[in-house]
């Protein structure tokens, strides 16, 4: 079976078991402060598991793009060195939210692997949780019992808490899990090893690996560490797609399957190097150098996928957070290609066409954005290769220094600096050092690394207390919704009666605040680039400021500095409507802007990020060159035209996703959409959007672009203002204009007047220059005629109020008139500053050994100055004009004529 067929068969199987087949969530997570990337299939169901979202349909299955390069799951350093961990991989998963539990999950998994896919049951082993006496949790006998229906006792293995007890985080849902492992050794390997598969499970054997993990969530862990029963049991399973494909295609390395082979073939073609598959390696053991090449090719093939999918999901490499993680992955690939594949120029971007050809059908976001992906990767590669060269230069200098000092060890602090500033990991520094006969102090390096980690940890530390539940939540269960979930009423109201249903204390960098969840709330929580609402909750007894509203697990979480005295009381929740209306107008303006950009620049324009606050809006989009002033004007005109048409919002809530697409709504790549979506239309602009909007475009008032710039390769940014902010902008411009006009006697034709001034200025400048030239010519003649003669040398000294450049012209003119036996010293004062010029004829330099530079330097001391120049001409400036005459005399004295 091909990879694509295997993917389909999984979906088909679970469809036949009444599961809703749902799309993969984006790999890059935008609205969860606790997680940057999807690292497991369950991430997108977190809110269902936590009880803040409707669990229907209760059976679901999908294939999820995952990335494991940061936080709890970080496989980055393994990738390429082993053959079964990737940075980005697909996780096949099936879920039950309060439907079937352990027995159903185990039976279905077995049926799929053995009956449908025909894996050999003798090669399958399963693990169950052995129990934890100190936590008072018994062995998972239940799971063991169900497994025993399918496998012999000696294929069931007890596993410890580390491997067989899954937790969502420090707190929250958790429970035992059962893993399915496969023994994929060749018969020869089995015979040679003398060990059973059972003995190799969880022993890091590259041929005895975990393929599927079935998690049985049944507890909730509280902040004090204790466990309580979960109100709804959850089945959460995850199977590594690439590992499954490898089993079914009879391979022994994920990289030998049709998921990776086309990319590896392209790598071989570009580099002219060979990759050895598992079989080839077995027949023909490979050298250390060839192994390095193999590793590097695997690294590049893997990282190409991770980076391309991230960019397609809207996460570009950058200097912070998720963007920085992507940058690090890309740089890791560049280093391997540079060091082991001899690629001194960008390499990864050349593989994009192969990736798109292979995966573009299953993942249309890749195909649609191929140009952007290629461009971004190329630019990153080029810029990192430049950094790499600089770092290598620095390392060479350091090694030169060591050699001079007779040392052979590079200190760890320096190695760490290379890592920190140039992205050189220790192994690269060591490699280069080793090639030159040096070692690196690893211990010191690790100490520095540890220090940095500590600094980062301290900066990010957040402490959450347990949620305190209030009985008022009951109101929801008897009201119009029985789910106990918060109701957001902010699309229709800005004030609403409410109760606090739960709250908790949060400590961040010694800062303390509280988070409140209300039963009904008009407050919009920050999402999709639009900032959260602020306002108050109040009743007769008190008023509490809501300083911000965040969105967490699909709910608005209100941030307050202090808790109400009676949290159980009833409140009125009131949004600050001035700020809300301004944000709403800006949000609607971004939709119109998006529409106008597509009309004027073309269909390739894709939204790549936006920020909407009460005072400004920012919109990032893909476009490959600067937007011209004329195009910006056209965009502004189109948006303002739509504003004047005062188009009313046409809003559709809870539309099934496919129906929304039929309405012509624009969905963004990398955005997570539920089964039901909201569509917002203003005339021809139609988008998927959960944000707060103006009730009609007229409310925007006016739209003006403030700047257009580049944020990254292929991505432009427009900043703009609307409404009242535009009014203020206009006043500032008007004030400036008025001030300028007053300089010109409030002339009506300001442009004409300024042009005339410039013209006059230019012609006056020319006149002055001509006048100066004439003066210099006259003065030079006069000075030469009045020169003293000392021992056959013409000595000219003079002092004028004159511009420095005129004085320079003057002494050169004098030298022209008097090319031999000349010593000329001209002092000037301009703007209160003295200046000394010394000019000598060539013979005075050659035959009399004089040097204008030396003379001027010495003499300028008398006017508190300094200077220099050539042997025949030098000048010096000074601070004290009263010393100028003495300085002139000093030059003559020093010349000793």
| Interface contacts to ligand ATP, rule CB under 6 A | 68, 75, 85-86, 89, 91, 209-213, 238-240, 242-243
Nearer to ligand ATP, 99 or 179 (CB): 179
Q: Sort strands 409-410 and 172-183 into parallel, antiparallel or unpaired.
A: unpaired
**Is residue 223 helix, strand or coil?**
coil
Q: Is the link from the previous residue into 669 a cis peptide, with omega within 30 of 0?
A: no
CB nearer ligand ATP, residue 241 or residue 702:
241
Compare residues 244 and 366 and give the one whose CB is closer to ligand ATP.
244
H or E element at residue 543: strand 543-546
Q: How far apart are the two ends of the chain, measured CA to CA in Å? A: 103
Q: Minimum CB separation from ligand ATP for residue 358, in Å?
A: 17
What is the number of other CB atoms lying within 10 angstroms of the CB of residue 550?
A: 17
- Least gap, CB of 303 to ligand ATP (angstroms): 13
Please say whether the beta carbons of 385 and 338 come within 8 A.
Answer: yes
**Rounded Cα–Cα distance for residues 627 and 598 (Å):** 12
As a whole number of angstroms, the distance between CA 353 and CA 371 comes to: 10
**Residues 477/465, Cβ–Cβ less than 8 Å:** no
- Residue 626's nearest CA partner among 698, 706, 710, 689 is 710
Nearer to ligand ATP, 239 or 388 (CB): 239
Token readout for 677 is 């979506």
Q: How much of the chain is in helix, strand and coil states, percent to nearest 5?
A: 45, 25, 30
User: Residue 69 phi/psi, 5° resolution?
Assistant: -135, 5
Q: Of 89 and 571, which CB lies nearer to ligand ATP in the complex structure?
A: 89
DSSP 861: G
To the nearest whole angstrom, how small is the minimum distance from the Cβ of residue 484 to ligand ATP?
30
CA atoms within 13 A on the CB side of 682: 29
If the CB atoms of residues 213 and 685 are measured against ligand ATP, the closer one turns out to be 213
Residues 324, 318: contact at Cβ < 8 Å?
A: yes
> Tokens 């294939």, residue?
63
Kindly write down the DSSP assignment for every residue of 844-855, as one continuous string: HHHTT---HHHH
Nearer to ligand ATP, 241 or 445 (CB): 241
Contact 242, 257 (CB under 8 A): yes
**Pick 325 or 859: Cβ nearer ligand ATP:** 325
Task: In angstroms, give the least distance from the CB of 66 to ligand ATP.
Answer: 7
Minimum gap (Å) between residue 415 Cβ and ligand ATP: 28
C-beta of 157 vs 388, nearer to ligand ATP: 157
Distance in Å, CB of 332 to ligand ATP, minimum: 15
Nearest distance from C-beta of residue 443 to ligand ATP, angstroms: 29
Q: Which is nearer to ligand ATP, 238 or 834 (CB)?
A: 238
What six digits make up the tokens of 459? Answer: 């900066």
Give the nearer residue to ligand ATP in terms of CB position, either 162 or 457.
Answer: 162
Report the distance separating Cα 101 and Cα 868, nearest Å.
90
- Residue 64's beta-bridge partner residues? 91
- Smallest separation (angstroms) from ligand ATP to the CB of 125: 13
In this structure, what DSSP letter does residue 862 have?
Answer: G
The token pair that represents 549 in the structure block: 């509203």
Task: Give the chain's length.
Answer: 897
CB of 88 to ligand ATP, least distance (A): 8
Pick between residue 246 and residue 580 the one whose CB is nearest to ligand ATP. 246
Residue with nearest beta carbon to ligand ATP:
240
User: Whose Cβ is closer to ligand ATP: residue 306's or residue 377's?
Assistant: 306
Quick one: which of 209, 151, 206, 203 has its CA closest to 179? 209
Which residues 6+ apart lie within 8 Å of 161 measured at CB? 129, 132
Closer residue to ligand ATP (CB): 163 or 687: 163
Quote the least distance from Cβ 202 to ligand ATP, whole Å.
8
Q: Which two tokens stand for residue 408?
A: 């052979």
Q: Between the CA of residue 714 and those of 343, 656, 695, 745, what are the distances in Å?
A: 24, 33, 34, 48
CB 856 within 8 A of CB 825: no
In terms of DSSP H, where are the helices of 177-287? 187-193, 197-200, 241-248, 261-271, 278-283
182 SS3 class: strand
């Amino acid at each position: 079976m091909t990879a694509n067929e295997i993917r389909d068969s999984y979906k088909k199987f679970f469809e036949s078991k009444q599961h809703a087949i749902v799309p993969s969530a984006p790999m890059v997570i935008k609205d969860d402060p606790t997680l940057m990337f999807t690292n497991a299939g369950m991430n997108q169901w977190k809110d269902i598991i936590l009880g803040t979202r409707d669990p229907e349909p209760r059976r679901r299955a999908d294939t999820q793009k995952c990335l494991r390069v940061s936080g709890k799951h970080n496989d980055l350093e393994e990738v390429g060195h082993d053959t079964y961990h990737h940075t980005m991989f697909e996780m096949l998963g099936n879920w039950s939210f309060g439907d079937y539990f352990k027995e159903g999950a185990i039976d279905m998994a077995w049926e799929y692997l053995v009956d449908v896919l025909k894996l050999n049951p003798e090669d399958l082993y399963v693990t169950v949780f052995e129990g934890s006496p100190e936590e008072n949790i018994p062995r998972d006998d239940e799971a063991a019992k169900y497994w025993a229906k399918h496998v012999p006792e000696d294929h069931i293995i007890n596993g410890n808490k580390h491997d067989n007890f899954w937790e969502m985080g420090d707190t929250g849902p958790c429970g035992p899990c059962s893993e399915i492992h496969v023994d994929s050794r060749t018969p020869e390997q089995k015979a040679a090893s003398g060990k059973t598969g059972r003995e190799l499970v969880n022993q890091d054997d590259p041929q005895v690996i975990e393929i599927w993990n079935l998690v049985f969530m049944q507890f909730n862990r509280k902040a004090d560490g204790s466990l309580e029963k979960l109100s709804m049991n959850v089945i959460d399973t995850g199977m590594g797609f690439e590992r499954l494909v490898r089993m079914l295609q009879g391979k022994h390395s994920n990289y030998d399957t049709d998921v990776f082979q086309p990319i590896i073939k392209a790598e071989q073609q570009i580099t002219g190097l060979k990759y050895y598959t598992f079989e080839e390696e077995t027949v023909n053991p490979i050298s250390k150098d060839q192994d390095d090449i193999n590793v590097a090719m695997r690294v590049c093939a893997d990282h190409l996928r991770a980076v391309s999918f991230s960019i397609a999901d809207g996460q570009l490499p950058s200097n912070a957070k998720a963007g920085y993680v992507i940058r690090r992955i890309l740089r890791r690939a560049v280093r391997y290609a540079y060091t082991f594949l001899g690629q001194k120029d960008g390499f990864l971007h050349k593989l994009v066409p192969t990736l798109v050809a292979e995966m573009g059908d299953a993942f249309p976001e890749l195909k649609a954005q191929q140009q952007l992906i290629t461009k971004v990767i190329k630019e990153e590669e080029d810029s990192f290769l430049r950094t790499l060269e600089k770092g290598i230069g620095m390392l060479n200098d350091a090694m030169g220094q060591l050699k001079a000092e007779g040392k052979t060890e590079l200190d760890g602090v320096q190695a760490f600096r290379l890592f920190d500033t140039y992205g050189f990991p220790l192994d690269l520094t060591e490699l280069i050092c080793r090639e030159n006969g040096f070692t690196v102090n690893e211990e010191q390096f690790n100490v520095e690394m540890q220090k940095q980690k500590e600094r980062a940890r301290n900066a990010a530390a957040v402490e959450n207390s347990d949620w305190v539940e209030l009985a008022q939540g009951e109101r929801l269960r008897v009201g119009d919704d029985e789910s106990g979930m918060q109701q957001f009423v902010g699309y229709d109201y800005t004030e609403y009666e409410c109760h606090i249903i739960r709250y908790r204390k949060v400590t961040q960098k010694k800062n303390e605040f509280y988070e409140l969840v209300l039963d009904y709330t008009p407050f919009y929580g920050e999402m999709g680039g639009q900032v959260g609402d602020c306002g108050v909750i109040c009743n007769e007894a008190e008023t509490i400021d809501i300083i911000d509203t965040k969105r967490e697990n699909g709910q608005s979480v209100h941030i307050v500095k202090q808790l109400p005295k009676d949290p159980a009381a009833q409140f009125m929740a009131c949004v600050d409507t001035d700020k809300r209306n301004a944000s709403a107008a800006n949000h609607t303006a971004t939709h119109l802007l998006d529409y106008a950009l597509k009309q004027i620049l073309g269909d390739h324009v894709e939204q790549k990020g936006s920020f909407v606050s009460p005072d400004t809006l920012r919109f990032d989009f893909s476009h490959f060159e600067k937007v011209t002033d004329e195009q910006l004007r056209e965009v502004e005109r189109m948006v303002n035209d739509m504003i004047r048409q005062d188009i009313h919002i046409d809003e559709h809530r809870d539309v099934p996703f496919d129906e929304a697409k039929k309405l012509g709504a624009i969905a963004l790549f990398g955005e997570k959409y539920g089964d039901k979506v909201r569509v917002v239309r203003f005339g021809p602009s139609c988008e998927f959007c959960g944000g707060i909007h103006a009730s009609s475009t007229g409310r925007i008032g006016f739209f003006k672009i403030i700047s257009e710039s580049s944020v990254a390769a292929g991505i432009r940014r427009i900043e703009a203002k609307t409404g009242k902010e535009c009014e203020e902008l206009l006043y500032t411009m008007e004030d400036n204009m008025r001030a300028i006009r007053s300089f010109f006697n409030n002339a009506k034709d300001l442009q004409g007047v300024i042009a005339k001034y410039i013209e006059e200025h230019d012609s006056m400048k020319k006149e002055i220059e001509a006048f100066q030239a004439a003066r210099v010519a006259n003065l030079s003649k006069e000075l030469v005629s009045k020169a003293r003669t000392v021992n056959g040398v013409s000595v000219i000294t003079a002092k004028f109020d004159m511009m420095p450049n005129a004085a320079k012209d003057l002494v050169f003119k004098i030298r022209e008139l008097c090319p031999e036996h000349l010593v000329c010293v001209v002092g000037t004062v301009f703007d209160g500053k003295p200046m000394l010029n010394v000019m000598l004829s060539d013979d005075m330099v050659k035959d009399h050994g004089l040097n204008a530079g030396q003379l001027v330097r010495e003499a300028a001391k008398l006017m508190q100055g300094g200077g220099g120049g050539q042997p025949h001409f030098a000048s010096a400036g000074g601070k004290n004009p009263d010393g100028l005459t003495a300085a002139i005399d000093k030059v003559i004295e020093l010349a000793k004529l």
